[in-house]
Structure 1
């Protein structure tokens, strides 16, 4: 996959394009990507996506943007897996915000030479969102470019959207979020050395800190898979929260990997959330906590086996 930022001169040839924010690369995005791949193959051109970094909400609402479902490296990795040919990041700033729709379209046309444009039914871009679908179609008609919309996608009667997925994660409903994402919600990070309490009580954990601005499942205990740096996926049980039994203050993601030993300090892992087991709670002491951890681990083992 060819990845460009702002400067389009390295791209050669023609394209079938889609434009949007694409946070989460959820099922609706995946359907759109599959469509443009098929159309690009039929026309013998490149399938391409134009998206924005930083996310527009981080610029328009810097003090309270919604948490992102994917950061830029995750987005690139997911799109590469989906087989996209071309990914263009445009730096979203005040200059781009004030660009007129006709100028933005001319820039894309000169650099990417689209044969077709595919967007959502409610898509709009350019200064004050003046470039809606009707505007784009009128502009494209005299240039031999076809413009198509793709309808909203529903799963079990529920519309797939990034905002709905964020709501589900905030409620700890990771299995429901997975149905809309098309994959398990996950968080990646570098394993750091904690206070090693887990090791002293027989449940050593790999600890990562949540990335600021990235959506995270609600505090609680989850059946999970932990993906090691080499891609190996290990069944695990994970606590998200502040460890109130020990008067913790900082939110952490702590995963106990079943039947695995090794040193992960300083290495990047990914935790995939499969099912919430319970809310985070404060225990009267270590023995009560240990008894609950044993129950959590056994429940997670059974659940993960049943879903394998």
Structure 2
């Protein structure tokens, strides 16, 4: 897949274009992009997927712990769908003030001949998000561009959206999040040195350094699957502040990987969240904590058994 920072190299080439944030690349995104790819192929038009980095929400609203996937993960997920041309425009305050017409003129139509424009059912862009489907349909008619708005992809009567998936993740509802994503939600990060308490009590943990912009599940203990060097291992993961030992607002993501003794400090791993087991708890002593971890592992084994 070609990853570009603009359309300057297209030299007037005819293309099909879709614009969106595509955070999470959920089932609705996947169906929409695959339909757009097929439609472009019918007319021998390459589909250009245009998106933004950083996410507009991080610039306009200053959001942290927000993204379902990192930008690199988004690239990989889009490529897995067959996307061959991805344009990642740098999003800043100046770009946010442009009207949809000026945006298309200055950043797209100046460099290529857009014959088809595909927009998701709930996407809007331009200053104050005036670039709704109705606005774009009129604009495309004026510019002689064929316009298509995707239909909502629904589960149990509700349209899938990245914002709803964020709500599910941040409230610990991992099964519904998986249904909307088409895969378990996962966090990726580098394993860093912790304080070693897990090892001292018999349950060593891999402590993840998570990018600031990534959304985190609600505090608690989860049945998870950890991927290390291409291999999957059953695990449980705690997201929280370690209240038994610490008084801090800092959030930690720590995974205890079953039957695992490899040294993975400094390694990038992925942790897939299957189901929430319980809320994070403060224990009176280490013995209570150890007893609870053993119960958590037993519950996790049952959950992993259901997934097999």
Q: CA RMSD in A?
A: 2.0
CA contact (8 A) 1:190 1:266 kept: yes
Cα distance in 2 for partners of 1:293, 1:122 equals 43
Measured after TM superposition, the shift of residue 247 of structure 1 is 2.2
Taking a change above 3 Å as real, the CA distance of residues 74 and 12 of structure 1, as seen in their structure-2 partners, is farther
Q: Which residue of 1 aligns with 2:304?
A: 304
What are the within-5 Å matches in structure 2 for residues 1-308 of structure 1? 1-9=1-9, 13-62=13-62, 64=63, 67-106=66-105, 107-141=107-141, 143-228=143-228, 230-249=229-248, 250-308=250-308
CA contact (8 A) 2:65 2:216 kept: no
Name stretches of at least 5 consecutive residues in structure 2 with no aligned partner. Answer: none
Measured after TM superposition, the shift of residue 205 of structure 1 is 1.0
CA contact (8 A) 2:9 2:111 kept: yes
Measured after TM superposition, the shift of residue 307 of structure 1 is 0.7
CA contact (8 A) 1:13 1:45 kept: no
SS in 2 for 1:203: coil
Cα distance in 2 for partners of 1:202, 1:51 equals 46
Measured after TM superposition, the shift of residue 92 of structure 1 is 1.3
- TM-score by length of structure 2 reads 0.92
Measured after TM superposition, the shift of residue 244 of structure 1 is 1.1
Measured after TM superposition, the shift of residue 11 of structure 1 is 7.6
Cα distance in 2 for partners of 1:259, 1:206 equals 13
CA contact (8 A) 1:210 1:216 kept: no
Measured after TM superposition, the shift of residue 34 of structure 1 is 1.0
The count of residues paired between Structure 1 and Structure 2 equals: 306
CA contact (8 A) 1:57 1:66 kept: no
Name stretches of at least 5 consecutive residues in structure 1 with no aligned partner. Answer: none
SS in 2 for 1:175: helix
Cα distance in 2 for partners of 1:24, 1:39 equals 23
Cα distance in 1 for partners of 2:152, 2:188 equals 29
